[in-house]
Amino acid sequence: MAARIVQITDLHLMADPQGELKGVCTRANLQRVLDVLRRDFGSAELLIVSGDLAHDELLETYEVLREMLAEWLPKLRVIPGNHENRAFMRQVFGERVTAVDDRNVFADSIGGWRLIGLDSQLVGAVRGQLGESQCDWLASELAAEPLRPTGIFLHHPTLEVGTGWLDEIRVEDADLLHDLLTKHLQVKFVCAGHIHHETTVIQGDVLMLTTPATSVQFLPETDRLIPDPIPPGFRIFDLEADGSFRTRVVRVPMPSAP
């Protein structure tokens, strides 16, 4: 039977329960997404939150999020986005975060697969960076399990997706990762967030994905940030032990505003 995992991204939660980003109440959106996850995907084996957890980067906001995710804690993994405080993440999510140098990462084995989370935060910048020491760690993780199908999660996309202002804020040292992908052929997909819309690119034999935010959606192929009224969403993966997999985005319509 396939191992099912779920990715949510770009929560942009705020300490203020009514807090809005581009007219979207991020806490109400997240709650609705979590309601759907509980109802339809509660048996998933792993929930990955791929960055921009706390828009205001406050400790209080991480504590609110831990409470909202309480039922998922035993199978939760969190990695940072550009809106993040790494120390607060570690403080609040404890053993659900693995620290490598100062970066918050993870590496898990599920259903015959390896799932690895990277930390692409460049403190003080909107664009991302992986850094050589983190890529050395990734290389050793990949070299240790060369026959296991592997999926990688990170916040910032590494490829251009065709939207100029977003392409400028992708991972700046993406070649470090792309180089590893050519050497470690067990990597089947790389999945990001950050750009608040869904994209799919095939590079070599690797599926390069982005996942919609649980908060506001960005219209693709624009020259500036334009909110898209399409509902928020998340992504599921069904991972087969033979290395094949299925993935799809699930959209969560919001109750219409009063």
Q: How far is the CB of 8 from Fe ion (least distance, A)?
A: 12
Q: Is 227 helix (H, G, I), strand (E, B) or coil?
A: strand
**Residue placing its CB nearer to Fe ion in the complex, 52 or 141:** 52
Give 41: exposed, middle or buried? Use CB within 10 Å, 0-12, 13-18, 19+.
middle
Residue from 3, 5, 8, 10 touching Fe ion (CB under 5 A): that is: 10
Question: Rounded distance, CA 89 to CA 34, Å?
Answer: 20
CB of 170 to Fe ion, least distance (A): 13
Using CB under 5 A, which residues numbered 45 to 74 contact Fe ion? 52
Q: Which is nearer to Fe ion, 10 or 198 (CB)?
A: 10
Q: Which residues of 120-151 are buried (b: 16+ CB within 10 A; e: fewer)?
A: bbbeeeeebbbbeebbebbeebbeebeeebbb
* Residue 198 is a binding residue for Fe ion (CB under 5 A): no
Q: Which residues contact 94 (CB under 8 A, 6 or more apart)?
A: none
Angle between helices 132-144 and 174-183 (to 10 degrees): 20
| Nearer residue to Fe ion within complex by CB, 220 or 243 | 220
Check residue 141 for interaction with Fe ion (CB under 5 A): no
- 52 or 198: CB nearest Fe ion: 52
CA distance 182 to 164: 26
In the complex, least distance from residue 208 CB atom to Fe ion, rounded to whole angstroms? 18
- The distance of closest approach from Cβ of residue 78 to Fe ion in the complex, given in angstroms and rounded to an integer, is 14
* Closest distance to Fe ion from the beta carbon of 13 (Å): 11
Q: Which residues bind Fe ion (CB under 5 A)?
A: 10, 52
